[in-house]
Amino acid sequence: MRDHYKTLSLSSAATNAEIRRAYRILARRYHPDVNPGKSTAEQFRAISEAYDVLSDPLKRQAYDQDRELNDTFSTAFDRAHQAYRKQQAAHASRKKPAPQAETPPQAQEQSNPKAEPKPGAPHKKTVVRVSTRAKAQGSDNIGARVKKLATRARSTAETLKTWIDPFATKKSSTKKPSISSFSVVEVSISIFEAISGVRKSIEIPEPNGDAHKLSVVIPAGVRQGSIVKAQGHAESTEQVIVVIRVAHHPWLSISHRGLTMDIPITVSEAITGAKVQVPSLGDPLLVTVEAGTQSGKEVRLKGQGIFLPDETRGDLYIRFLIKIPPLTDPVALAQACAPFNSLYSGDIRSELPKKLGEETLS
């Protein structure tokens, strides 16, 4: 999976302004018209593709979810590989023969005839069950995402079983049964449940059409697409993967950066500046609106976000949105806006391209 943030030399917490700035710099540097004779077309296409995804809020949200799923399973594979290497080394040390006197080749052939390998136990098929009963509103493409997650879970289970089974001893297998099936369940929670954490009762489908209930603790700080793993009981061979869907809230959202809050401001406050009171998880906060604030500008309040399980706090982002007065008298409002129009030096949309992907390099 191509890392669009790495392509633009940005972190995943980059703002929209930082994304635009990075794209303009890199597009000017690697544009084929600016570099005749150099092979920069492929790099320019990658830069344009990264900007197309990250500059669109919906595309960026979907990309961040896919990126998180990919990172989650990549980490699982890395840990499994490390466990495999340790088990392989331990197995080699246990099976290493003690030094003995050298035996003639003929005696070795007679004393150690090649025996047929013993047939192993029949391979237990890994089962993956998917449930999408608790869908969040607005999740039109959740079926495809859950199927992708189920495919990755099945691949992870089969790979782990292939790596670990040859080195598993009878003693270790009696202590903890291996995972034989996966169930992927989608759970919808509110934004406030995601902020504080919650315990949810979910239903796991059975092959015969029935379902059994399971209580799952969802920690504080989860966001859209987060994964919580659970197991039925101590001796259960089923691994339950819970995919979190956070319901839409009109002015609150949780992302990989932290908690974001949309705060409306008046046209006058945006132009002249002001101090506005905003809610928080504790006492209300007084935030400064700088003079000349554009709609969409963000202010970061470090350590004012969600309380995390490791006893730290995330960040709170205040996003200012300019709100115009209600159109009770459109004529009077249009007359009041006339002096503002004369203050613009030109077309404010002159830097926009006529076609998406064709960025103006001037």
C-alpha distance from residue 279 to each of 47, 193, 291 (Å):
38, 17, 22
CA 201 to chain CA mean position, Å: 24
Give the pLDDT of residue 278. 94
Query: Which CATH number describes the domain made up of 257-334?
Result: 2.60.260.20
Predicted local distance difference test score (pLDDT) of residue 173: 46
Burial of residue 210 (CB within 10 Å: 0-12, 13-18, 19+) is exposed
Consecutive sets of 10 residues in the chain, 362 residues long: mean pLDDT of each? 84 84 85 75 87 88 77 62 69 62 50 50 52 46 61 63 53 54 84 91 78 85 87 67 91 90 95 94 93 94 86 90 90 87 86 76 48
Q: In which element (H, E) is residue 258 found?
A: strand 258-265
Per-residue model confidence (pLDDT) at position 293: 95
Using CA atoms, how far apart are residues 161 and 180, in angstroms rounded to an integer?
9
pLDDT of residue 96: 59
Angle at the Cα of 85 from the Cα atoms of 82 and 91, rounded to 5 degrees: 140
Q: What is the pLDDT of residue 99?
A: 56
Residues 215, 232: Cα–Cα separation, whole Å: 9
The amino acid at 350: S
pLDDT at residue number 170: 46
CATH 3.30.2350.10 assigned to domain 126-167+177-246? The reply is no
Give the pLDDT confidence score for residue 109 in this predicted structure: 47
Q: Residue 52 in 3-state DSSP?
A: helix
3-state secondary structure of 264: strand
- The predicted model scores a pTM of 0.50
The confidence score (pLDDT) of residue 21 equals: 87
Sign of the Cα torsion 197, 203, 206, 211 reads: positive
What pLDDT is stored for residue 302 in this prediction? Answer: 92
Q: 46 Cβ partners below 8 Å, 6+ apart?
A: 2, 7
Q: For residue 281, which amino acid is it? A: L
Question: For residue 118, what are the CA distances in angstroms to 40, 59, 97, 321?
Answer: 58, 54, 21, 71
Q: Report domain extents, the chain.
A: 4-55, 126-167+177-246, 257-334
Q: Which residues have a Cβ under 8 Å from the Cβ of 211 and sit 6 or more positions away?
A: 203, 204, 205
CATH code at 4-55? 1.10.287.110
pLDDT at 61: 82
Fold match between domain 4-55 and domain 126-167+177-246: no
